[in-house]
Chains A and B, each alone.
Chain A
Amino acid sequence: MKTATFKIWRGDAKGGEFHDYTTEISEGMVVLDAVNHIQATQANDLACRWNCKAGKCGSCSAEVNGMPKLMCMTRMSELPLDRPITVEPMKAFPVLRDLITDVSWNFRVKKKIKKFKPRPPDAPDGTWRMQQEDIDRVQEFRKCIECFLCQDVCHVLRDHQMHEQFIGPRFLIHVAALEMHPLDTENRIDELRNTQGIGYCNITKCCTKVCPESIEITDNGIIPLKERVVDEFYDPFGWIWRTLKRLSDKGLK
């Protein structure tokens, strides 16, 4: 049976270091299997968060060989076994212990985003009517499992620690899902530019690269939002067009 050496980061908010573990690898194993095996046989106090083991709960986010990944979706067969495999906690958030980080900042950010505000119901029974083509775009964004790998890989949060100024790709996608929703009537463009910091995104596409749900975060979410900000703030001909349209609408009334 093959073996693999893991360098797993052990520590807490005060600091820590890598510890080496060697474990047997069998066919079909994922990194989470190996970490759980190490926990069961060699390091009973190793802290590791996981739940579904099916890539849907977003709990086992970590950095495997330096890249943010879900441990349960990273097959051992994809990794080179001739050198140690590093497993670390996410870098954009404070460590609680070992592989577990405190991601509560994300939930606080989400609370600050303007909520869904639908138009009045279309039917007397209080329901709405939508066409599939209207909802296709938003459905892609709803695949998000909130693993926060995109937040972790984003250099604005990871390297520059701009958590106060920038909400990160996960919540830009959340805003996109609300803003492009066919029923929604709220306007979030001003906040996007001024308090949520969409201008900090410099389109590295790292968020798209690490998304386990393959959401086209940059192309389908962030860039269309950037274009909506341009409409509102940086397009003088757009202003003139909208003003003329408003005036003509008023005239018609």
Chain B
Amino acid sequence: MNGAEATFPRRSFGQTMRADVWWTQPLLVFLGLSIFIVYSTWAAFQGSHYFFGNYISPFYSPEIFGDSPHSWFGPKPSWWPAWLIFSPALLILWAPGGFRLTCYYYRGAYYKSFWADPPACTVGEPRKSYLGERSFPLIMQNVHRYFLYLALVFIVILTYDVWKALWFVDPTTGKNVLGIGVGAMVLAINVVLLSGYTFGCHSLRHLAGGFLDQFSKSPTCYRAYACVTCFNRRHMLWAWLSLFWVGFTDLYVRLCSMGVWTDWRIV
């Protein structure tokens, strides 16, 4: 006997004494994440309308192989199996996708919304057994810091995309001229929001200085830790804003490329 057997029987799925509308938040998270997953999967499989002049969708950047002028190593390689669907997005999206999937905030959110483990605080669960993150498959969540390293590389690449988005071809001279279009601003906001989310990562907070017990001996680490902590306080907000905006950025480039929207030049 461990001396902690509770008196009350285990509650059934959804049973609670809570008087508030507890299911609102998990439902909103479920809808928000589902809409993003469906849209991003659809967009990733399209393989077209992902660039518009000097703009490239963040779902397709870096374009390792592809048909656009943004491609790093030219078109689809000849050795690519004919039976395997090709889209430049599928080569890269696993990295930011993995970063979000293993993110501490999203984990807590989707365990509740998609797996009801628990559906909300003090609300009954559908399953009796529980393994947590101690065994396969959820023990794999510990890989999060490796996805963080990749996410940091993506921030650099997407920042370079914003720089490229500022250069337009002058139709009269054929030369590149500096300018600002609405699309460049959309791409820039995307980088800001993704940076806010990435630089507030719990793993980065640990690696920047959280692993130390004596900050005073490593003032640089302490400053980095304080900086990440600052972003980390609003990690959930950054996570949702960046998720929405990265989807919107793809939509903006896509609709401009399809001729539905016009990209206005401001400068």
Contacts and interface: CB of A to CB of B under 8 A. Distances in A.
A68 interface: yes
Contacts of B2: 105, 163-164
Nearest to B121: A206
Nearest to B103: A203
Interface stretch (A20-28, A40-48, A53-61, A222-230): A222-230
Q: Interface size bucket, B side?
A: 35 or more
A180 B211 CA distance: 8
Interface stretch (B10-18, B56-64, B251-259): B10-18
A27 to B, nearest CB: 22
Contact of B133 (A134, A201, A224, A228): A201
Interface in B103-137: 104-105, 107-108, 111-112, 117-118, 121-122, 124-125, 128, 130, 132-135
From A88, A104, A223, name the one whose CB has the most chain B CB atoms within 10 angstroms: A223
Contact of A230 (B5, B17, B118, B145): B145
Contacts of A179: 213
A239 interface: no
Interface string A203-245: 1111001100000001100011011111101110000000000
B133 A200 contact: yes
Interface in A116-160: 131, 133-134, 153, 155-160
A66 B133 contact: no
A117 to B, nearest CB: 13
B125 A155 contact: yes
Nearest to B226: A133
Interface stretch (B38-46, B155-163, B181-189, B214-222): B214-222
A219 B232 contact: yes
A38 interface: no
B18 to A, nearest CB: 4
A131 B121 contact: no
B142 A67 contact: no
A131 B219 CA distance: 12
B203 interface: yes
Interface in A171-222: 179-182, 184, 197, 199-206, 209-210, 218-219
Given A66-B18, A86-B17, A199-B139, A94 B132 contact: no
A182 to B, nearest CB: 5
B174 interface: no
Given A131-B216, A163-B2, A230-B145, A200 B232 contact: no
Contacts of B11: 159
Given A134-B215, A227-B211, A153 B121 contact: yes
27 contacts: A11-B7, A63-B122, A66-B19, A80-B19, A83-B19, A88-B17, A91-B122, A93-B4, A93-B6, A94-B4, A94-B6, A94-B7, A108-B3, A133-B222, A153-B122, A155-B118, A156-B130, A156-B132, A160-B128, A161-B5, A184-B213, A202-B133, A202-B138, A203-B104, A205-B108, A226-B104, A227-B203
Interface of B: 2-8, 10-11, 16-20, 104-105, 107-108, 111-112, 117-118, 121-122, 124-125, 128, 130, 132-135, 138-139, 142-145, 202-203, 205-206, 210-211, 213-216, 222, 232, 235
Given A92-B4, A159-B125, A224-B210, 19 more contacts: A66-B18, A80-B19, A86-B19, A91-B122, A92-B6, A93-B4, A95-B6, A95-B7, A133-B215, A134-B213, A155-B125, A156-B132, A157-B4, A159-B118, A200-B130, A202-B117, A203-B108, A219-B235, A235-B145
Interface of A: 11-13, 15, 63, 65-68, 80, 83, 86, 88-89, 91-95, 102, 104-105, 108, 131, 133-134, 153, 155-164, 179-182, 184, 197, 199-206, 209-210, 218-219, 223-224, 226-231, 233-235
8 nearest A-B residue pairs (beta carbon): A66-B17, A199-B134, A66-B18, A206-B121, A200-B132, A105-B4, A227-B206, A131-B216
